[in-house]
């Protein structure tokens, strides 16, 4: 070979991990390679040893996840919390395990609009849409708070397809416990 002639690189051929490991080991021992080429050859040898061929696990026949079947709940409880600022609806099973929830703020209402009866109706509809896969048909309703969305939320439960079995007011009432705050001067 003459001085000006350069050795042409061999064409790249896809090899099995065992073949590529052997060729990478031989290449790393070649004295004519530069330090960078030796390092890349050693890295290729390490990858071949691990079995990393660049093929994703999904293409190698990885197991697909089975879709989880939701348990069926025929009757449950609806907890409605109505404050002066917001309305929160939680749908649960008979033991109290939450199936879905929604609030006026979560839907996108802001400010004073969160406490309206219209917002309460949309909150109930959103919570019922989320719980549809459980097959909930009838609920016992527990209402807490003194907000404007109380009646609207209970009506919306019935309108959106849930059978209301009972309605109970669970608003905490003090037996003249704490001293109330001063009246506002408006």
Whether 99 maps to a domain, the answer reads yes
Q: CA-based angle 32:38:42, to the nearest 5?
A: 140
**Is the pLDDT score of 79 beyond 70?**
yes
pTM above 0.75, yes or no: no
**Among 171, 167, 148, residue whose Cα is nearest residue 157:** 167
Contact between 115 and 78 (Cβ < 8 Å): no
**84 and 134 share one domain:** yes
- CATH number of the domain that 84 lies in? 3.30.420.80
Kindly list the strands in the beta sheet with 75-82, ordered across the sheet, starting from the edge strand earlier in the chain. 98-103, 87-93, 75-82, 138-144, 163-169
Q: How many residues does the chain have?
A: 186
**38 and 124 share one domain:** no
The predicted model gives 152-179 an average pLDDT of 93
Average model confidence (pLDDT) across the chain: 82
Residue 21 is given by DSSP the state H
**30 and 114 share one domain:** no
**105 and 159 share one domain:** yes
The predicted model gives 170-185 an average pLDDT of 92
Sign, CA dihedral 44-50-51-56, equals negative
User: Helix or strand or coil: residue 45?
Assistant: helix
**44 and 91 share one domain:** no
Residue 162 confidence class, pLDDT cut points 50, 70, 90: very high
Report the share of the chain in percent with pLDDT over 70.
72
Residue 70 is given by DSSP the state P
**84 and 52 share one domain:** no
**More confident position, 19 or 34:** 34
Which region among 13-22, 37-46, 141-150 has the lowest average model confidence (pLDDT)?
13-22
pLDDT at 51: 61
Domain count, the chain: 2
Separation between Cα atoms, residue 83 and residue 171, nearest integer Å: 11
**49 and 98 share one domain:** no
Q: CA-based angle 51:52:54, to the nearest 5?
A: 140
Separation between Cα atoms, residue 93 and residue 105, nearest integer Å: 24
């Amino acid at each position: 070979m003459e001085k000006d002639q350069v050795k042409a690189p061999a064409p790249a051929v896809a090899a099995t991990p065992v073949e590529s490991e052997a060729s990478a080991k031989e290449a790393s021992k070649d004295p004519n390679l530069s330090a960078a080429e030796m390092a890349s050859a050693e890295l290729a040898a390490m990858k071949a040893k691990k079995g990393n061929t660049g093929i994703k696990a999904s293409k190698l026949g990885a197991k697909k996840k089975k879709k989880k079947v939701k348990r069926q709940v025929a009757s449950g409880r609806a907890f409605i919390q109505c404050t002066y600022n917001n309305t929160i609806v939680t749908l649960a099973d008979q033991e109290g395990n939450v199936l879905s929830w929604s609030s006026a703020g979560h839907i996108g209402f802001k400010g004073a609009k969160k406490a309206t009866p219209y917002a309460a109706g949309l909150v109930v509809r959103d919570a019922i849409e989320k719980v549809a896969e459980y097959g909930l048909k009838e609920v016992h309703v527990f209402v807490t708070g003194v907000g404007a969305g109380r009646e609207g939320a209970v009506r919306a439960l019935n309108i959106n397809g849930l059978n209301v079995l009972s309605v109970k007011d669970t608003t905490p009432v003090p037996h003249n416990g704490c001293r109330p705050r001063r009246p506002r001067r408006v």
